[in-house]
Amino acid sequence: MEREAVDASALDALLQGARAPFVIRGLVSGWPLVQASLRSARDARTYLLERARSVPFAVSIGPPGHNGRMFYDGAMEMNFRTARGKLADIFGGFDANEGRADSPTVYLGSIDIPTHFVGVHEENRLELGTREPLESLWIGTPTRIAAHNDFPDNLACCVAGRRRFTLFPPDQIRNLYLGPIDNTPAGRAVSMVDFHAPDFNLHPGFADALKQAQLAELEPGDALFIPSMWWHHVEGLAPFNILLNYWWRNTPRFLGQPQDALNHAILSIRDLPHEDKAIWRAMFEHYVFDNGPEVTNHIPVGARGILDPLDVESAGRLRSFLLRTLSR
């Protein structure tokens, strides 16, 4: 699972077409933010404060005694509250609670770096070739983020503290017992299994998932590649943790999000009679999943419409059509 990348070219070669996770030790160990974190957590916070823009930061807060698991409560509401504030005030809370056994859980997730900081991108960056990634910071006390997956590829770099990832292949979806799609802690359906105390009577298939699990523990400077749609459970293990990640997709940005198609299929197909669903399954196989030459060979060139490969213009027309039909 561990690989080496001595330069940007080697890293690019590792990422090209990669479909399994791997760790690169020390990939970003020279970053100034990593070096600050190795001196102390406060030095890392000072580094970010000196570069923070005057914009509000979103923060999730669990009360004292919260176990760090950002999850649901017994009523399937979130077991944390969200707020917005100045980074100086939020970091002041970290300083005040440092070392306390009953400190609250504090978590700043998916902070867009260019929007919130000046110079952090320029001083702490990887050369990723032609990829155009989104760059985000994740900052927090000890936390547990339930297993979920993401559509983009992900290169996660441990900047401060320690991170533990438990990863599963995409085909383990049934064995992870996902919760709601439309009521989630952070926008993606999450596993309902408590990884620290799994209930194998309620979630028997999780035992099979564990047989496929891969574990990666990151120290400051280490990086983990998580391929698109791989499930990952993420734990911040130190009193103060920072992760910087790069997200990118291997398809043009003008194409839609597959999750939108899934939501629409739930709306329009899932509750049809079984016989009708079988017909639509065949339609999806024909037009979407197989998509062989027999779909269009009999149609004159220039008259195939959206059955031709999409480009910016045709994708825009299709999106506009969908918006009109969904608004009826």
CATH number of the domain encompassing residue 127: 2.60.120.10
pLDDT in tens, 241-272: 999 999 999 889 899 999 999 999 999 999 99
Q: Is 199 domain-assigned?
A: yes
Whether 221 and 121 share a structural domain: yes
Give me the helices (H) in 40-78, please. 41-49
Q: Of 248, 280, 298, which residue sits at a domain end?
A: 248
3-state secondary structure of 313: helix
Contact 266, 205 (CB under 8 A): no
Q: Is 279 domain-assigned?
A: yes
Edge-to-edge order in the sheet of strand 231-236: 69-70, 143-148, 231-236, 163-168, 214-218
Q: Of 248, 282, 298, which residue sits at a domain end?
A: 248
Q: Is 253 domain-assigned?
A: no
Q: What average pLDDT does the segment 266-279 reach?
A: 98
Q: How high is the pLDDT of residue 1?
A: 86
Number of structural domains, the chain? 2
Q: Is 127 domain-assigned?
A: yes
Whether 266 and 191 share a structural domain: no
In percent, how much of the chain has pLDDT > 90?
Answer: 95
Contact 15, 247 (CB under 8 A): no
Report whether pLDDT(102) > 90: no
DSSP 8-state secondary structure symbol assigned to residue 264: H
Report whether pLDDT(22) > 90: yes
Can you give the residue range of the structural domain that contains 273? 258-326
Whether 265 and 237 share a structural domain: no
CA distances from 319 to 170, 252, 256, 296, 311 (A): 28, 14, 8, 21, 12
Report whether pLDDT(153) > 90: yes
Q: Of 202, 217, 248, which residue sits at a domain end?
A: 248
